[in-house]
Amino acid sequence: MGTPDFIREIRADAGHQLLFLPGVSAIVFDDEGRVLLGRRADTGGWSVIGGIPEPGEQPAVAAVREVYEETAVRCEAERVVLVQTLKPVVYPNGDTCQYMDITFRCRAVGGEARVNDDESLDVAWFSVDALPELPEFARFRIKQALNDAPTWFAPGGLSGSHPA
């Protein structure tokens, strides 16, 4: 996975310590109601498209950019589906990150789905009734994007405590 330059610069000073970072995920639907997925180069598994916003970049703009960079599909962000702080991740090199993910429901408006960078092994459209094996992270986001419920967020404060 490509690490943004600004994170490399932070890591030069911060070492492997925990970085709390923004993340975006895009649940992209086409006119047939299919969802766009990418098969990740780092894990070999299918998942939704996502990435890290650049400093100063709006989250919706970042989601649209990530979709194009990874899949060559042009899309428009329609609404926020969920906001969720994820569990910390420790990468093979020892770097630790925790992401606050903002997931957007998006609509494809152009382009042909194809691998467009080195982060994906494959890119394809799938009927929501015939999805490949997906992590719970991706399944939950697709489920939330399919309904018209308000934006989902985890209730409560840190570690289940109430805010002060």
- Mind listing the pLDDT tens digit of every residue in the chain (164 residues)? 478 899 999 999 999 999 999 999 999 999 999 999 999 998 899 999 999 999 999 999 999 999 999 999 999 999 999 999 999 999 999 999 999 999 999 999 999 999 999 989 999 999 999 999 999 999 999 999 999 888 888 886 554 433 33
* pLDDT for position 157: 54
Residue 161 lies in a domain: no
**Domain assignment of residue 83, yes or no:** yes
**What's the pLDDT at 32?**
97
Q: What pLDDT shows up at residue 160?
A: 40
Q: What's the pLDDT at 141? A: 97
- Residue 164 within a domain: no
How many domains does the structure of the chain reveal? Answer: 1
Task: Report the alpha-carbon distance of residue 24 to residue 43 in Å, rounded.
Answer: 19
Work out the end-to-end distance of the chain between its first and last CA atoms, rounded to an integer number of angstroms.
38
pLDDT for res 3: 85
Q: Which domain holds residue 42?
A: 5-148
Question: What pTM value is reported for the model?
Answer: 0.89
- Identify whether 153 is part of a domain: no
Within a domain: residue 159?
Answer: no
pLDDT of residue 48: 98
**CB distance 102 to 59 below 8 Å:** yes
Do residues 102 and 79 lie in contact, with contact meaning Cβ atoms separated by under 8 Å?
no
Give the residue from 142, 137, 149, 150 showing the smallest Cα distance to 29: 142
Asked, for residue 163, whether it belongs to a domain, the answer is no
Q: Is residue 71 part of a domain?
A: yes
Domain membership flag for residue 122: yes
Query: For residue 59, what is the domain's CATH number?
Result: 3.90.79.10
Strand residue runs (E) in the chain: 19-29, 35-40, 46-47, 49-51, 74-85, 89-90, 96-110, 120-126, 152-153
DSSP letter, residue 33 = S
Residue 66's pLDDT is what? Answer: 97
